[in-house]
Chains A and B, each alone.
Chain A
Amino acid sequence: MLLSTTLKIALGSLATNKLRTALTMLGVIIGVGAVIAMLGLGNAFSEKIRGQIDQMGTNLLFVRPGQRGGPGMGARQAVQTLTPEDAEAIIALPGVKAVSPSSVNSGQLKAGNRNSNTAGISGVAPSIFAIQNYVVERGRVFTDQEVTRAARVAVLGPVTAGELFPGQEAVGQVVKIKGIGFRVIGQTKAKGSQGRMNPDDQVFVPYTTALKQIPPRRTFLQFIAVSTVDKDSLKTVTEEITTLLHRRHRIRAGDADDFNVENLTEFLETAQTISFVLMVFLATVASISLIVGGIGIMNIMLATVAERTREIGVRKALGAKNHNILVQFMVEALVLTLGGGLVGLLTGWGLMEGVAFGAKQWLELAPRLQWWVVILSMAVATGVGLISGLYPAYRASRLDPVVALRYE
């Protein structure tokens, strides 16, 4: 018997019981849909975190004044013990690749009659560009000499540059930061906004200039960014910095620290691991519903076989061999699961996009329907169909035609 004929028979018998067919498919639809949505969203979340790690810079430590878990940001900034000299001392530590002191400020930028109030003012060392993966697209970064003599030079983020110099080349122009004129010498490449802080909307100036010339003048830093030679050094360097700053700040054992060393990479990697575990857990729960769907299909197939015992008897009397009957019912089970899988795929896709759209305000996710997820879910649906269809179809194929013909 031709497969197309068998397919026609299967579709015909499924069409006679539309409600039953739809309800049976529902189990597979929900299962496949949930798995696809979970994997898609979980992946998008993972990629989001990976993106943040890449952007922030790899093998990165932040040394901040104040205590971890202590008073909030406002109070922290009041702690004035972290100095450029601390940063210089850290450079000498083994395992440290680069260090940049950072003095962060905010205030108005002006260029001609245009101004910007959103841009962050970052006083940094030139090493910050390498540490935090900033690419300078135009012009150049400032030199160590410019840092030493506290030169009035600035590197603009692309958003800030666009606001102050729309449609113009920013490099070579003059920007006024809190009323002090700076020469624009470079412009960074767009990184894309990540959450609250937009790295493309800021102006970088030498930290010396920021400390000494931009009001309020200060002697202390907001943080020191440290990159290590490799990932394994993060821990040892953290310990070295702690020991070093204990000595430099004269903190005795048992006293509270006036600084803390943050390992954000580690934090984000932990978040990524958690999100992965959560995704696997949710996908597992979703696949349980797929198993339940498979049981439902087996149940219905058994009922169908019992209902159509007479038909099986007739077909056998007319010359159907055991494998003809087996294939007929297997195809029916496969049509159920593959149909359910296909609808589930679309449902899951819709669900994924829907959740991403709904969560847009507080978390920008870009979930994608990956080809391996599509193939996996279709393969699983086929597998469920084969497994749940096999036993009922086998039973049907082994029916004795004499008994089957007598069945009322």
Chain B
Amino acid sequence: MITLENITKIYHLEEQEIPALRGVSLHIAAGEMVAIVGSSGSGKSTLMHVLGCLDSPNSGNYFLNGQNVAGLSTNRLAEVRNRQIGFVFQSFNLLPRLNALENVELPLLYRHSARGARAKAADMLARLGLGDRLHHRPSQLSGGQNQRVAVARALVTDPAILLADEPTGNLDSATSHEIMNLMLRLNKDEGRTVLVVTHETDVAEYCPRKIHLRDGQVT
């Protein structure tokens, strides 16, 4: 499903070159649930951006679902994000003006045909136990509920991978447990490929496989 070959990423900061990823190679098969762990500054955020097609590497190949996405134009990358990747963020990143249904529907609206978007969104929210919260705005929902809306938004496009960036960072431990169990269930019951980027070891413990990152390299 995912193959990285010798990926490097260098940031330029005031004439200084800061290498964030130094030759990362890894393979993740379809249906795996993987934690990407590392302390801050280890390059795991950069790796997450590259894996999520939010950023392009300076060199190396990135095969996602058989397609080399390294070096695609920004608009092509947007398409890949829309079709292949479902994001779950630490701070939910739901649009405050929109209700749950409209938030979940959003990625479908950026497709050529948005037919049936509303029904799909409602269906996905119902599957995640939010069938009675369709018209609530993020400010009217709890942290756990908001993160479940975010998961619904990530899954509504039926993506190849679910990419969660510190998904429990803003949640208390009980809710964290609930969300991680949800991820686990999506992996086990539906066979979804799940990547969890985290610096918390107990969150990483939910994942059968862990990839450790230090100083921009896999250890």
Contact = CB atoms under 8 A, between A and B. Distances in A.
Q: Do A and B bind each other?
A: yes
19 contacts: A1-B109, A2-B109, A5-B114, A12-B98, A16-B97, A313-B93, A314-B93, A314-B94, A316-B54, A316-B78, A318-B81, A319-B81, A319-B83, A321-B74, A322-B78, A324-B110, A401-B54, A402-B55, A405-B93
A78 B81 CA distance: 98
Interface residues of B, number: 26
A405 B153 CA distance: 16
Contacts of A310: 93
Given A1-B109, A1-B114, A402-B49, A322 B54 contact: no
Contacts of B81: 316-319
Contacts of A401: 54
Interface in A322-340: 322-324
Interface in B106-159: 106-107, 109-111, 114, 153, 157
Contacts of A13: 97
Contacts of B94: 314
Query: Range of interface residues on chain A?
Result: 20 to 34
B93 A319 contact: no
A240 interface: no
A16 to B, nearest CB: 6
Contacts of B82: 318-319
A237 B114 CA distance: 80
The residue among B75, B78, B81, B83 with the most chain A CB atoms within 10 A of its own CB is B78
Contacts of A322: 74-75, 78
Given A314-B95, A318-B153, A1 B75 contact: no
Contacts of B98: 12
A319 B85 CA distance: 9
A12 B97 CA distance: 8
A315 interface: yes
Contacts of B75: 321-323
Given A316-B78, A321-B74, A324-B110, 11 more contacts: A1-B110, A313-B93, A317-B52, A317-B87, A318-B107, A319-B111, A320-B110, A322-B75, A322-B78, A402-B49, A405-B54
A1 B113 CA distance: 8
A135 to B, nearest CB: 68
Contacts of B78: 316, 319-322
B205 to A, nearest CB: 27
A1 B106 CA distance: 10
Contacts of B114: 1-2, 5
Interface string A391-408: 000000000011001000
Contacts of B54: 316-317, 401-402, 405
A317 B79 CA distance: 10
Interface string B35-71: 0000000000000010010110000000000000000
Contacts of A320: 78, 110
Nearest 3 CB-CB pairs, A to B?
A319-B82, A318-B107, A319-B110
Interface string A301-312: 000000000110
Contacts of A319: 78-79, 81-83, 107, 110-111, 157
B89 A405 contact: yes
A401 to B, nearest CB: 5
A16 B95 CA distance: 13
B193 to A, nearest CB: 18
Nearest to A13: B97
A258 to B, nearest CB: 84
A318 B97 contact: no
B53 to A, nearest CB: 9
Contacts of A12: 97-98
A324 B87 CA distance: 19
Interface in A257-311: 310-311
A16 B97 CA distance: 8
Contacts of B49: 402
A49 to B, nearest CB: 55
Nearest to B80: A319
A319 B111 CA distance: 8
Contacts of A315: 106, 110
